[in-house]
Structure 1
Amino acid sequence: MNAAMVLGFMRESGGPVNVGELMELTGLTRATVIAICEDLVDRGWVRELENGRSTAAYVKGRPARRFAFDAQAAFVLGIDIGNRRMTAVLADMAGTVISRIAVPFQVLNAPAQERADLLRAITDDALAKAGVAPERILAVSLGVAAPVSRDGEVLTAQEFWGTFDVRKALSEWHGWNVLIENDANLAALAERWRGTAEGIDDLVVVLAGDRLGSGVLESGRLLHGNNGAFGELGYLYQLEGVGDPMGMAYWAHHWGREVLDSGATTRLREVCNGDPDQLTAEAIFAAAADNDTAAIEIVNRLSLRMARVIGSFSTILNPEIVVLAGGVAAPANAVIPIIQKHLPTFTSTPPKVKASTLGDSIVSIGAVRHALNYVEERALTLRPRSMPDPSEAVVPDDIKETA
């Protein structure tokens, strides 16, 4: 417990700490602190630094020994297996991104072998780009668009969900510790770690692009439910004024096409260059900002719809903040004031609503955080692969015989 506390303090400090500081933190004796630090050096997690004292002048007393957490002792991989793209992010133990590979990919109906081959290819590309050997990866986290239990099992009640159960394909590739988690849950971890909801314990993140999905943190704890389906929004089929779990991007495009098909006078025809298939939520929000009447009406309809959605789960979950994330996050600022205005109509506990600033990296960032959590919780049993494990050391025959 003392070693874990010392290692955690050194990791969070982000810089060198001396023995005196560690003594003050832990209440341990100098000898014990030094013994722990030396053990952590042997394990490969910590480096001892020069004391930094100038040799030009005499200073009474022993120089303080200084140690620092080695953020590049090992690495983790965070992977987003999205519906249209697969992204792999390699990060060190401080969460600093070392390399990132993104490849367009249509998951729907893709053969399992093709999906596994691409997954292996992008992980190896991410390692090669950073010059990191596979054995230095201590954990890999996969983000998937399917419910995942707290034990890391994909719920296969729907055939589409089952297509995301690809953990085995990667764990057999390099013998890695491979975790799997729902993409919206990872988005929630990302927002609390480095997003607009940094440090917030009661939080809902809604991936609001083509289809709605949510990740929920309660008292800082990620909620899964019995089979991992906590946060699934299928109940929206029964919610009056909503009717389905399709997202803001889907309905913006759908309603925009209706306007174009009606022959109404609108800038929407101009912003999509006359091609309705190219009409995006972002273009509609931009037209609304230019006072286009049809675009403003679509924005108002989207806002009212999302207020009903947010109000429904806010009544049950009572989050402090709801973050709108995914492909519509950037333009979502246009609808947030209207959503906030409508919310008291649908819930007596309206949360703050914000737009994510993490862009399309949100799931891969959350996957990195997920992998880091795994390693940090097991740091005293996991060893950076570049360090020899004493239990696996080769003992010379003469010592074996003596023993």
Structure 2
Amino acid sequence: MAEVSAATPQLLRRVNAAAVLGVMRVSDVVTVTELMDATGLTRATALAVCEDLMKRGWIREIVAPRDQGMYQKGRPARRFALAETAGFVLGVDVGALKVTVVVADLRGTTVSRASEPFRDMGISAEERINTINRTALLALDSAGASPSRVLAATVGVAAPVDRTGKILASQQFWRQFDVGLRTALHNLHGWAVLLENDANLAALGERWRGSAVGVDDLVVLLAGERLGAGLVENGRLLHGRHGAAGEMAYLNLVEGVGDTHGVAALVRLWAEEQLSLGVESSLNEAATTQAVSAEQVFEAAAAGDVVAVEMLERLAERLARIVATVATIYNPELVVIGGAVAHSVAGMIDAIAEKIPAHTATPPQLTASPLGDAAVTIGAVRCALDYVEAHSLDLELVPATG
């Protein structure tokens, strides 16, 4: 076994501070004894960490009310709580067509949200950055928080991102996200900005507050317009050398699939194809004004429309093959179908699951995300909080003004 070098005092302080803040984030009020039980720290160390974090503004001491008329032996236990509004984090979901920004406090509670569309997919890097920045400022203004109180921002993009935050720009679609956003936002506001793939963040969101709490071997499929996967193996995200571990271009080679179109794109395309043949369907009326949406197809199928029902049967077989390939390659315990289509797909889960064993010897559990298209921003908030807790001794809290 390789020799492990001794941890430096500064490293130990960081680790201990992160451990205490992690406990505080999920607790209302904790005593020193409870901190000791949760972190394994000695009483002296736990108290020292609390004193340091109080001095820096991260936590506050809760003074227990005196028990009137009752005698108490000894000193009352010291109790502490997170100063949840001492700072904020941003969770940002940058898609091809719009950006969504969530402002959350130090417990991860959403304080405000803002969303804006991009003018079109072909806009310049400068315009894309300006739209993202404007949306972030709108969300902060709604929260009543100044940009100086943001401790970290995590940005999810629909492109591979490696462990260092570098975007793989080898394809035109991915290249539109490689706009220098980290540097731009840091120069504008001084923020620590983390970049991550959107499906990876969705996986973090599902493990934190979705359908995969406690699951260590997980695949989350974002299945809206394009398919992408966030992979968790033994509790950690898989990136691969260039961050492309969850990319699904291999589906072009899979019999019965053939491309990376997601549910929304496929159903819309299939509806157009069927209606162009002049078939009778309740979808004809919807198609007179605009393209048929995935929601309209699911609603028509629920009402018994034959054309819509046949499309969803076709979709179930296709999704079963996709999940089977993921199960064969990664062998997860659970596969979660997420994104804006998750609510619609929820009613198909049993039909999809029944077909999976025909295509793989290792069928996983299958579910639809309860988080929908919020999974990416929820995971982004989780990622930003992880950064804040790990770097609490380096970050300076800015008091609220006004």
Report the TM-score, using the length of structure 1 for normalisation.
0.90
Q: 2:284 aligned with 1:274, yes or no? A: no
Q: 1:24 to 1:218 in 2, by over 3 A?
A: closer
Which SS does the other structure have where 2:342 is aligned? Answer: coil
Structure 2 counterparts to residues 235-250 of structure 1, below 5 A:
235-250=250-265
TM alignment of 1:73-222, pairs within 5 A:
73-106=86-119, 108-165=121-178, 166-222=181-237
The 1:296–1:6 alpha-carbon spacing in structure 2 relative to 1, beyond 3 Å, is closer
Residue deviations 1:191-230 (CA, integer Å, cap 9, x gap): 1111112221111111111111111111111110000111
What TM-score do the two structures reach when normalised by structure 2?
Answer: 0.90
Residues 348-389 of structure 1: CA distance to partner in whole angstroms, max 9, x if unpaired?
A: 1111211111122221111111111111222233332349xx
Task: Tell me the SS of whatever aligns to 2:156.
Answer: strand
Q: Matched residues in 2 for 1:119 and 1:9: separation?
A: 29
Q: Which runs of 5+ in 1 are unaligned?
A: 388-403
Aligned to 1:390: none
Of 212, 221, 226, the residue aligned with 2:241 is 226
Does 177-186 or 26-35 show the bigger shift? 26-35
Q: Within 2, Cα distance between the matches of 1:351 and 1:73?
A: 42
Q: For residues 42 and 322 of structure 2, what CA distance do their matches in structure 1 show?
A: 56
Partner of 1:342: 355
Q: Indicate the SS of the match to 1:335.
A: helix
Query: Are the equivalent residues in 1 in contact too, given 2:346–2:367 (CA < 8 A)?
Result: yes
Compare 338-347 and 326-335 and name the one that shifted more.
326-335
Question: Is contact 2:31-2:77 (8 Å) kept?
Answer: yes
* CA pair 254-30 structure 1, distance change in 2 beyond 3 A: closer
Corresponding residue number in structure 2 for 1:288: 301
What's the offset of the Cα at 1:61?
Answer: 1.6
Alpha-carbon distance in structure 1 between the residues aligned to 2:342 and 2:34: 43
2:4 maps to: none
d(CA) in 2 for partners of 1:18, 1:306: 49
Q: What is the aligned counterpart of 2:320 among 307, 312, 323?
A: 307
C-alpha distance in 2 between matches for 1:245 and 1:167:
28
Q: Percent identity?
A: 49
Is residue 314–residue 347 contact of structure 1 (8 Å, CA) maintained in 2? Answer: yes
Residues matched between the structures, number: 385
Q: Indicate if the aligned counterparts of 2:162 and 2:239 stay in contact, CA closer than 8 A.
A: yes
Structure 2 stretches lacking a partner, 5+ long: 1-11
Judge conservation of contact 1:288–1:295 (CA < 8 Å) in 2: yes
- What's the counterpart of residue 58 of structure 1? 71
Report the CA distance between 1:89 and its aligned residue.
0.5
> Structure 1 counterpart of 2:72, which letter?
V
Larger radius of gyration: 1
| 1:297 alignment counterpart | 310
- The residue matched to 2:268 in structure 1 has which SS? helix
| Cα distance, 1:379–1:256 mapped onto 2, change above 3 Å | same
* Change in 2 beyond 3 A, CA 1:33/1:352: closer
**For structure 1, which segment, 57-66 or 117-126, has the greater mean C-alpha deviation from structure 2 after superposition?**
57-66
Residue 365 of structure 2 is aligned with which of 330, 342, 352?
352
Is 2:319 the counterpart of 1:318? no
Runs of at least 4 residues off by over 6 Å: none
Task: Quote the Cα distance in structure 1 between the aligned partners of 2:368 and 2:192.
Answer: 33
